[in-house]
Amino acid sequence: MKFNCQEFQENHNKCTDCSEGKLIVVEENKRKYVFQNLSKKKVCKVKIDGCVIDSQSQRKCDYLIIICELADIYFIELKGRDLISAVEQLTETIKYFQSIKYEITGKIFARIVLSKVPMPKAIEVDAKVIALKKLLKKSGGNFDYGSVRFEKDRI
């Protein structure tokens, strides 16, 4: 199966919202991720937690955003303070989709929006963060995080 907008629109219609708007916003408990779609490409926002993956035992991130034309994917976790737990959720979500034979052809990015950012130096050397960065680097993507409002990504 291809990991693309059409797949999610057809098989997870209730969880998928596609548009060509300038801003794609994901928010929860005062934490907000804002994707700037200045080129007005078709972008799909997909609710993962409690929608695409409703299993309580499977760790997963909150949302993904797919840039349809490029097949680039942004996995997004909105979290309180526990950055490492959020890293685990992102890693497990990516591996979950890979394990059910999704063919991911675009770049993979991982984003975390925290209510409070922990000490950054300690995070950079954490084995789980390093493993996630390696996983993303294979696809040409990267990992980034911020507090309260994350607004760096744009096309």
CA dihedral of 123, 50, 137, 71, whole degrees rounded to 10: -150
Q: What is the pLDDT of residues 1-37, one digit of tens each?
A: 778 899 999 999 999 999 998 999 999 988 999 999 9
What is the predicted pLDDT for the residue at 23? 94
Q: What is the pTM of this model?
A: 0.93
The residues spanned by each domain of the chain are 5-150
